[in-house]
Every structure is written in C-alpha cells, then in structure tokens.
C-alpha cells in the first residue's frame, strides 16, 4: 500500500479516533488531522496546546464547549452526501474543547500551529461559502469552511463533493513552493468518503520531475497525504466522491500552480445551453 494512504482503524480507540495524521507521522511541519467517531452520549475532551483547531461535524449532532463558549445541539446533516454545509467550531491554541455527541457523530479534528490571534467561534452552515467550480465533467461542489478570507492563524479547511464520472482538483495543480505571490507552500490531507461505500476514488500525486509519481486507489474512509506535487481526483461512474481538505503552511494563503501540460483545459470556452 502507498505510504500516502492512511487507512482507518477497524474500531475506534477510547477517544473514538479511527484515523490520526500528525506532522511527525506525515513527515511534515504543519497539518494534523483526526477522524473521530463518537457514539450517542460519548464525550471528547482536550486542551488545544499550541495548536489551533477546526472541529468539523461531518455527520451527526453534538454539544461543543470551549473555555468561554458553548453551543448546544449543533449539526444538521446525517451524511456528507446531503449537499448541506456542515457546522464547525474554531478553537484557538491555549484553549480547550469538549464535544458531547447528541447522536452518533463523525467528527473531523483539523489542527495546525496557532498564534492565539482569534477567539473560539461557531461556523454555521449559512456562514460557509458554497460554490460550483468547473464545468461539464470537471464540475464539483465546494463548501469553503475556513477559507483564507475568514480569520484563523494557519488552517485552511474546505470540502468537495465530486459527482460520479467527474474529476476534481483539476486541472492538476500544486502548492508546494514558498514562492509568493505566485505559489504558496501548503501541506494537505484528503479525507475521502465514497457513495455507495464499496466504490473507490482515483487520485494521482506527482511532481514535475516524477520523483514522486503515484496513482492511488482510495477507498471509503481513507485519508491521502499530499506532501508535494499535483494531486487530481477522479470519481468513477456510479460513485459519488466526497473529500475534506485540511491545508496549512508558513503563510496562510492558497496560491496554486497548474500543471503546464494541462492548464489549457481551463482556457477552453465553457459549453453554452441552447
């Protein structure tokens, strides 16, 4: 199996964690990611330490408390495929959080270095920017949960729903050089869900010199690490593909570079309806 794929554990640990990516395990500096599954009534309590945190309620409902804030009964969707934006909670470093599952809960814990710049806050669905990106068979649906226009120290968080038969993260692009204003250095994780769940997604991760060149078969519930290079995704016919992206780097901005071989695709005129 590719070292870029992190498979979920067969059962949650005592905290409910089924996937864990740390900077140490990934061999990078900034991004951490956990997928936590809590049963109704189960609680997750943690100090944030030197990390800022974005808690994304992927499915289910919960009460979320921090040192100075609390929100009860948040969460609306029961599946990531409902095309509803999620509820999320931003928690700064030097704080703490407690998540109490009101229903069965699938929770993403996204982390990156914090600077104590912003207070804890709720990110409700109506605050999440929704957009359709691409056209034809590169059309996909975006929820900008924590984009660079919204306050945070390091984290960028976005989710994408790619309809079956479509491509996303396409044309292939990368953000692995600290070369602003043209390109930013951002590590990235992709947490995948596939519907129906017996399906798969295809993701390629490759660099210009092909020192990294992998084509990955990604199953439902797996996470892909993108340390560098281009990273397009394909959803096979019959299988819708969801993924949650977590990005962070030395500068909190998303400036990407398209693969020159394929950049022409975006210069094509969009088809018009008759």
Cβ atoms of 60 and 106 closer than 8 Å:
yes
**Coil vs helix vs strand at 20:** strand
Q: Residue 158: which of 144, 171, 172 has the closest Cα?
A: 144
Q: Residue 27: which of 1, 53, 6 has the closest Cα?
A: 6
Residues 196-248 pLDDT 10s:
999 999 999 999 999 999 999 999 999 999 999 999 999 999 999 999 999 99
Cβ atoms of 21 and 223 closer than 8 Å:
yes
For the CA atoms of 132, 189, 262, 203, the dihedral, rounded to the nearest 10 degrees, stands at -100
Q: What value does the mean pLDDT of the chain take? A: 95
Quote the tokens at residue 159.
């989710």
Query: What's the pLDDT at 269?
Result: 60
Q: What span, in angstroms and rounded, lies between the C-alpha atoms of 108 and 34? A: 6
Residues 88-129 pLDDT 10s:
999 999 999 999 999 999 999 999 999 988 999 999 999 999
Cis bond before residue 270 (omega within 30° of 0): no
For the chain, the domains span: 5-265
Q: What percent of the chain has pLDDT over 90?
A: 94
Quote the tokens at residue 31.
């991004």
CATH of 5-265, one of 2.60.120.10, 2.102.10.10, 3.40.50.10490, 1.10.3720.10: 2.60.120.10
Cis bond before residue 171 (omega within 30° of 0): yes
Handedness of CA 160, 118, 124, 99 (dihedral sign): positive
Residues 32-89 pLDDT 10s:
999 999 999 999 999 999 999 999 999 999 999 999 999 999 999 999 999 999 999 9
**Coil vs helix vs strand at 127:** helix
Does the pTM surpass 0.75? The reply is yes
């Amino acid at each position: 199996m590719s070292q870029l794929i992190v498979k979920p554990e067969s059962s949650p640990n005592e905290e409910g964690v089924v996937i864990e990516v740390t900077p140490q395990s990934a061999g990078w500096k900034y991004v951490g990611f956990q997928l936590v599954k809590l049963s109704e009534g189960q609680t997750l309590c943690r100090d944030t330490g030197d990390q800022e945190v974005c808690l994304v309620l992927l499915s289910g409902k919960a009460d979320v408390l921090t040192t100075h804030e609390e929100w009860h009964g948040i969460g609306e969707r029961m599946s990531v495929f409902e095309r509803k934006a999620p509820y999320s909670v931003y928690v700064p470093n030097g704080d703490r959080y407690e998540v109490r599952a009101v229903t069965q809960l699938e929770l993403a814990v996204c982390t990156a270095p914090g600077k104590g710049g912003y207070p804890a806050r709720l990110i409700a669905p109506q605050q999440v920017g929704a957009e359709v990106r691409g056209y034809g068979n590169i059309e996909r649906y975006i929820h900008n949960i924590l984009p660079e226009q919204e306050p945070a120290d390091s984290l960028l968080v976005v989710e994408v729903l790619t309809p079956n038969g479509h491509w996303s993260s396409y044309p292939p692009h990368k953000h692995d050089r600290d070369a602003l204003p043209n390109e930013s250095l951002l590590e990235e994780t992709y947490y995948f869900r596939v519907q129906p769940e017996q399906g798969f997604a295809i993701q390629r991760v490759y660099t210009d010199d092909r020192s990294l060149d992998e084509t990955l078969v990604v199953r439902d519930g797996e996470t892909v690490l993108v340390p560098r290079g281009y990273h397009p995704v394909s959803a096979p016919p019959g299988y819708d593909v969801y993924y949650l992206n977590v990005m962070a780097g030395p500068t909190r901005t998303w400036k990407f570079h398209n693969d020159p071989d394929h950049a022409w695709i975006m210069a094509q005129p969009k088809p018009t309806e008759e």
